[in-house]
Amino acid sequence: MMTLIANETRKISLRFSTWLYPIIIMVVILALAAIFRSVSPDIDNIQFMLSINGISMFLVALFSIVIASSVVASEFSFGTIKLLLIRPYKRWEILLSKYIVVMLYAVALALFTLLITYLISGVLTSFGSLTQDVSDIIPTYSENGDILNTGLTAINALSTQLGFFLVELIFSMSIAFMVSSLLRSQALAVGIGLFLLFINSIAGGITLMLAEKFEWFKYIFVTPLYYINMNSNAMGSMEINSGLSTGLAIGILAVYYVVFMALSFIFFQKRDVSV
């Protein structure tokens, strides 16, 4: 298994896009930091990170989904799948090694983005304290309009955002990975993966509103996924209106995750590999 993982790591590292994506993220963050500095001279890097994490993490999700959507389908598109299957490994081991590598890449890209955002914005603005109160930047309001998260520290806010985002990232990439496993066309797999990413922001918001009246809507995967996305962007608590809680949302996504992964491995085990 370690040999397969090492081989998949080498494949990804040889892709031009693998190194291009972090550069694009750096350029975007640099541009945003310069804009924020000119508009709000007193902003520090912690405030900047909390303000633009939604944008930077969206780029991480976007590029990670592109990788996950193409990792299996590309083997069929380029006809290299036979070279993999003639090796003395089981099919599920081959697929699992690809899944592990794309997940490691996605997590590494997310951590890199947080670190580079902290450093770039700190140099261009100033380095803020990780223990400062940030409830005024990302407030969570009660029904009466009171701020519920008074005293929230920056380190806790950033950690919470990262935790929610990783849940969203893993689930979204698993859908893209499933699509890649089911399709032979790399272009079609990437297209569907990106479509699912963009449509979630629309469909998820609609189903979340419908969940206020029809409880079963909250069990459609786009609803808890949108809930997690809103929390990762620090948009505040939605438990009162939607009937969802963090635990329930993650639990629903976990069930779908198991189903999607099972479909990926079962289909890959049984599919015709003629190219």
Q: What is the DSSP string of 249-269?
A: HHHHHHHHHHHHHHHHHHHHH
- Residue 184's CB is within 10 A of a number of other CB atoms, namely 18
pLDDT tens across 39-77, in order? 887 888 888 888 888 888 889 988 988 888 888 877 777
Task: State mean pLDDT over 236-263.
Answer: 78
- Judge whether 74 and 8 are in contact, CB under 8 Å: no
Whether residue 238 is predicted with pLDDT greater than 50 in this model: the reply is: no
Whether residue 24 is predicted with pLDDT greater than 80 in this model: the reply is: yes
Alpha-helical regions (H) of 125-238: 154-182, 186-210, 222-232
Highest mean pLDDT among 97-111, 146-160, 239-253: 97-111
Residue 77 CA to residue 264 CA, distance in Å, equals 18
> Which pLDDT band holds residue 241 (cuts at 50, 70, 90)?
low
Which single residue is written with the structure tokens 């541009």? Answer: 31
Token digits of residue 191: 């297209």
- Judge whether 158 and 49 are in contact, CB under 8 Å: yes
pTM (two decimals): 0.84
Residue 157 CA to residue 122 CA, distance in Å, equals 18
More reliable by pLDDT, 149 or 42 = 42
Task: State mean pLDDT over 140-158.
Answer: 71
pLDDT tens across 196-215, in order? 777 777 776 677 677 677 77
